[in-house]
Structure 1
Amino acid sequence: MTIRTPDEIVARLRAVRAASTDMFGFREEVLLEALDFAHAREFLPPEVTASQWDQRRWRRHSDTDTYARWYLTFAIDKILDHRGNSASRSVEKLAELAWLLGRDDLASAVDEADYPMYGAPKVKTFADGLGWPFIDGLDDPDVRQMLTRMAAGLECDPGGCTRGCRA
């Protein structure tokens, strides 16, 4: 279920483009994929057809909530893997997913949260804001501890990270 209407999403897309703050297009990507072809058309290359678009948009996800839950897990994996660029992308996409879910307050909170440790505090803000598990789905207590530390802005290992934790 997408809380925002297609017209609201189109207006947000136009605003994101006009602001020129979405340097790599991650926010735009989430918003665009939430639209049907008729509403997305103005943002697509002219050669993209309706059937091509239908195959592209949120391929594995039936609605915004399902996509956001899947993407939260994906973002946590990127944090744990110490993937800087992927983690940054995840944070921006989660902020737009919060907006799509009608949570302007949460989108702002994610944007305003600190970024250290691959955005773990931001991703935790997103999960907590929706009442979704952040570490509950992780079976390994060492991994749970690592993610908890990173969400607090600390290196993953109290003895020092050998994988590249960066504030």
Structure 2
Amino acid sequence: MSARTQDEILARVAEVAEMDLFGFRRQVLIPALDFEHAQPFIREGVTVAEWGEVIQAAELLEMAREYYAFALGKIAGHRGISATRSVLKLTEYAWLLGQDDIVAAMEAADYPQYGAPKVKAFGLGLGLEWPTTEAMTRMAAGEPCRLDCDEGCSS
């Protein structure tokens, strides 16, 4: 897996800016920039030492795996805004890792049930396990966690 170039990341930041109302995508993208390229996005007074090194592909992959686990919890907990944030951030992790096939699979998947089908597409693309509970299996298929769910995923 290869990470994107600094210029590609800058272009992606510009590409998603208009649709990234809460900055969730940029929260993943901007930290992947080196200090020089990040200048327009960081507060005045931050030094090179404070900004740190560019995130390498192996570290980025680990961050993506950790965020995937976080996203699973948001889906299981019926956390709408958090689940939306998770889908957006996981999309950008996949993009940064150069996994255009995963980005395409996520974009092709439906959103219902707190983005479960999209998050599952991300996990499958990286070889990560999807929880085997009945509720998560149903949600990944776009169905309510249970037929009588009163937490928001029943139609």
Which interval holds the TM-score relative to the shorter structure?
A: 0.7 to 0.9
Cα distance in 1 between the residues matched to 2:47 and 2:145 = 46
Secondary structure of the corresponding residue to residue 26 of structure 2? helix
User: Paired residues, what number?
Assistant: 154
Give the root-mean-square deviation of aligned CA atoms. 2.3
User: Per-residue deviation at 1:2?
Assistant: 5.7
Cα distance in 1 between the residues matched to 2:124 and 2:28 = 21
Q: Which moved more, 1:86-95 or 1:23-32?
A: 23-32
Flag structure 1 segments of 5+ consecutive residues without an equivalent. Answer: 137-143
Cα distance in 1 between the residues matched to 2:87 and 2:128 = 16
Counterpart in 1 of 2:140?
151
Pair 1:90–1:73, CA change in 2 (3 A): same
Cα distance in 2 between the residues matched to 1:166 and 1:129 = 28
Q: Residue deviations 1:50-90, cap 9 Å, x none? A: 344349x98xxx71100000000000000001100000000
Cα distance in 1 between the residues matched to 2:98 and 2:154 = 32
What TM-score, normalized to structure 1?
0.81
Q: Residue deviations 1:114-133, cap 9 Å, x none? A: 11100001000111122221
Q: Specify which of 113, 128, 132 is matched with residue 132 of structure 1.
A: 128
Cα distance in 2 between the residues matched to 1:63 and 1:11 = 22
What TM-score, normalized to structure 2?
0.87
Cα distance in 1 between the residues matched to 2:107 and 2:45 = 34
Give 4+ residue runs of structure 1 displaced > 6 Å after superposition.
Answer: none
Q: Percent identity?
A: 50
Cα distance in 2 between the residues matched to 1:5 and 1:89 = 24
Counterpart in 1 of 2:38?
40
Q: What letter matches 2:84 in structure 1?
A: S
Q: What letter matches 1:107 in structure 2?
A: V
Pair 1:154–1:53, CA change in 2 (3 A): same
Q: Specify which of 23, 26, 44 is matched with residue 25 of structure 1.
A: 23
Flag structure 2 segments of 5+ consecutive residues without an equivalent. Answer: none
